[in-house]
Amino acid sequence: MSNDSKHRGAVVPLVTPVTATGELDDAALDRLIDFQLAGGVEAIFVLGTTGEGPSVPRASRLRLVERTVARVRKRALVYAGIGDTCLADSVLAGNQYVLAGVDAVVAQPPAYFPLQPHEMLGYFKTLLAAVDGPMILYNIPQTTRVSIPLQVLEELVGHPKLVGFKDSENDGKRHGDLIRRFGGTPAFSILVGVGALMAKGLRLGAKGIVPSVGNLIPGDCHQLCASAARGDWAAAERHADRMTAVATMYQRNHSLGQSLAALKAALHLKGLCGPHMLPPLLPVSATELETLRHEMRPLNLLD
């Protein structure tokens, strides 16, 4: 991994801790951030998919960003998601978050109207022109129902505000093509968002990873990237295997929403936050919570 960009390493997409009535849980947010920093992560990403970003009330989003920036105190980078179906709302959020001190905003395609490549290109060009700070584009067709074509990215790479691309599309060939074509671009970072492809992506030249499992084991995620940076691929594989085992615990046989509820429940069992989810997602049942507790012990996730 080259050293020409600060956007690198383990970028953990933080869960959004809320109370039973849906308000932001400030104390839990502080605990989660401190846990990430103790694990050595390079960046904390709020209002992403793992953070239930589209479901967080608009009135709470800026406060979440401001509190995160204040708690981190430049000990890691802070990213904030701005994806919305309304361009004006994305621009407003992006500029608010930049003023609040984030190191980059993260934007996916709007998810309501399926966009053709030329429409997507126009949208991102407009967004990049209107937001007064660094931006990372985010490809996640599982939720947006559209994939950002590499030819669209090729038209955008080189824009002075575009600092990276997070790809969460589970397609090994696409990831290889993406990294080969753009991984060596100066001041531009490819971030891998698919757990099974992270170690391979780093070996090919990606600069970082965005693992939801980092909420539970930030140290392993940081060490995967550190091992890759020094070319210790045996150590990297050990950390990758650990990440896979822990992620399987909360993702197995679950939809995306169910896996996020199980992840938050696991964090609840660790004493970091409550198990509460934002609608339309539901928390795990009492039975599922006990199953998680049983599965976490052999993985050394409970004290």
Q: Mind listing the pLDDT tens digit for each residue in 289-302?
A: 999 999 999 999 99
pLDDT tens digit string along 97-110?
Answer: 999 999 999 999 99
Domain 9-232: CATH architecture, name and number where available: Alpha-Beta Barrel (3.20)
Whether 3 shows a pLDDT value over 80: the answer reads no
Share of the chain above pLDDT 90, in %: 97
pLDDT at 2 over 70: no
Mean pLDDT taken over the chain = 96
Q: By CB neighbour count within 10 A (0-12 exposed, 13-18 middle, 19+ buried), where does 59 fall?
A: exposed
Beta strands in the chain (DSSP E): 9-13, 43-46, 77-81, 104-107, 135-139, 162-167, 189-192, 208-209
For the entire predicted model, the pTM comes to 0.96
At residue 4, the pLDDT reads 65
Neighbours of 131 (CB within 10 A): 21
> Which residue ranges make up each domain of the chain?
9-232
- Per-residue pLDDT tens digits for 78-104: 999 998 899 999 999 999 999 999 999
Does residue 72 surpass a pLDDT of 50? yes
